[in-house]
Amino acid sequence: MTVVEGPRSAGLMARVQGILIKPAAEWDVIEAEPATIPGLFTGYACILAAIPPIALILQHLLFIHWTIIPIIVIAVLSYVVSLIGVFIMGFIIDALAPSFDGQKNSVQAMKLAVYPYTAAWVAGILNIVPILGILAILAALYGLYILYLGLPKLMKCPPEKTMGYFIVSLVVALVVNIVIGMIIGSITVMMTAGALLSGANAITQSGYQNGDLARLEAASRQMAIAGQAAAGGAAASQTANGKAVAAIDPEKLKSFLPDTAGGLPRTELSSQRAGAAGIGASNAEAVYAKDSARITLTVTDLSAMGALAGMAGAMGVESDKQTATGYEKVGKVGGRLTTEEWDRGANSGKYGILVADRFMVQAEGSGTTIDALKSAVAAVGPDRLEGLART
């Protein structure tokens, strides 16, 4: 019985028990059952996500005794923003699927965003008693394990790619929570001067360098804007410098793709735009081929959603994996987040960079060299994209 289709109370309780007690088996059920994104929210997320805000109100009524109206405002805001955070996470899980040889599927990705939160939502009731809040944190960590189990089942990524997919998704989850905390914190600051001081001290002690902290704040502001767009405010969305956030016309992105790349002539050229609930992205792609050599070069404008990847760079996310026939790397080159993968046995790989925490430029090829892929990315003109981001 699905949450969406069956009697709501029975389906909801069965799903909560299944995902918490036997998550691996429950993911097999979830993977096969029909669902819709609205149904996942109205039949499940909207119900369980109300538990932590209600616990917050009860906590303050029983133990802290603040004026009730500000607490209700904060609780309602945390509820709405947490649901927006779930939506954003599902959007990103779906977008990341091809990068880890998975299959894009927006409904399956949204299942992965919604159901792992069950542990944190249910444990949110413990927040009624302040000293038990640590248990709610442990429950959230268990939710990450649930997510790890579900990724290969729902997004069909190879087992060897699951850990990388999970790590990037973990960064997404962290970013979403930072955004939620900053949004709620900004409201709290307006209500109590004490909250402002404690928040500033917490950030100062977090260990980030000044430049990284500024980048984190900028990325969080962009993600907050994306959240507002998902809530229906896309028309009024503004960046921190007052300019509207909107994905570049994909036809304009085509002009960044050269006639030749990596020594190969261009044989195909295409573009597309996608979006949902005010959150969008645009993409231009070119194929370069000759004999057995082939390179696919893409330029993707993630708009405000690029802040997620930018956050990884600000947090110093790096990895270096050596295999019997090649390697995989994530790091920074020239201050830009860079991904590199090469398999000498298959003579194929990928190379990509994030420009201006917004544009992803990636070359994927076979029958060529990693240097040719790097050359193809450079031919796009990352500096020109930097300029485009500032206009």
- Return d(Cα 71, Cα 65) in angstroms, integer: 10
- Cβ contact 40:114 at 8 Å: yes
Question: Looking at 142, 171, 206, which one is the last position of a domain?
Answer: 206
Question: Looking at 144, 179, 206, which one is the last position of a domain?
Answer: 206
Which structure tokens are listed for 366? 């076979």
Q: Which domain holds residue 345?
A: 250-390
**Total structural domains in the chain?**
2
189, 299: one domain: no
Helix (H, G, I), strand (E, B) or coil at 280: strand
- 118 is a domain residue: yes
172, 38: one domain: yes
Which structure tokens are listed for 175? 């970013």
Q: Which residues are CB-contacts of 34 (< 8 A; sequence separation ≥ 6)?
A: 2, 4, 5
- Cβ contact 243:353 at 8 Å: no
C-alpha distances (whole Å) from 27 to each of 82, 123, 283 are: 23, 20, 32
52, 125: one domain: yes
The DSSP annotation for 333-377 comes to ETTEEEEEEEETTTTEEEEEEEETTTEEEEEEEESS-HHHHHHHH
- Cβ contact 269:188 at 8 Å: no
Which structure tokens are listed for 116? 């792992």
56, 184: one domain: yes
- 22 is a domain residue: yes
> How many of the other CB atoms lie within 10 Å of CB of 177?
15
Q: Sort 291 into a burial class: Cβ within 10 Å, 0-12 / 13-18 / 19+.
A: exposed
- Return d(Cα 265, Cα 267) in angstroms, integer: 6
Q: What is the pLDDT of residue 304?
A: 52
19, 151: one domain: yes
198, 255: one domain: no
- 144 is a domain residue: yes
41-89 pLDDT tens trace = 988 999 999 888 888 887 776 666 555 666 777 777 778 878 888 888 8
- 245 is a domain residue: no
Q: At what angle do helices 159-191 and 193-204 cross, to 10 degrees?
A: 140
Question: Looking at 175, 206, 237, which one is the last position of a domain?
Answer: 206
- Return d(Cα 360, Cα 80) in angstroms, integer: 30
First to last CA, the chain: 51
Sign of CA dihedral 258, 259, 260, 265: positive
186, 322: one domain: no
51, 198: one domain: yes
165, 306: one domain: no
28, 169: one domain: yes
Q: What is the pLDDT of residue 132?
A: 66
- DSSP category for residue 127: G
Q: What is the pLDDT of residue 369?
A: 95
- 65 is a domain residue: yes
Q: What is the dihedral of CA 375, 381, 383, 385, to 10 degrees?
A: -130
- The residue whose two tokens read 């019997």 is 324
- Cβ contact 231:84 at 8 Å: yes
- 223 is a domain residue: no
- Return d(Cα 364, Cα 351) in angstroms, integer: 7
Q: What is the pLDDT of residue 182?
A: 59
Taking 70 as the pLDDT cut, the residues of the chain under it are: 1-10, 61-70, 129-134, 172-246, 274-281, 302-319, 391
258, 327: one domain: yes
Q: At what angle do helices 306-314 and 159-191 cross, to 10 degrees?
A: 90
313, 381: one domain: yes
CA atoms within 13 A on the CB side of 222: 24
The number of residues in the chain equals 391
- 214 is a domain residue: no
Instruction: List helix spans (H) across the chain.
Output: 8-21, 23-32, 37-40, 46-48, 51-59, 68-96, 106-114, 118-123, 133-155, 159-191, 193-204, 210-228, 250-254, 306-314, 370-380, 382-390
Q: What is the pLDDT of residue 131?
A: 64
- 135 is a domain residue: yes
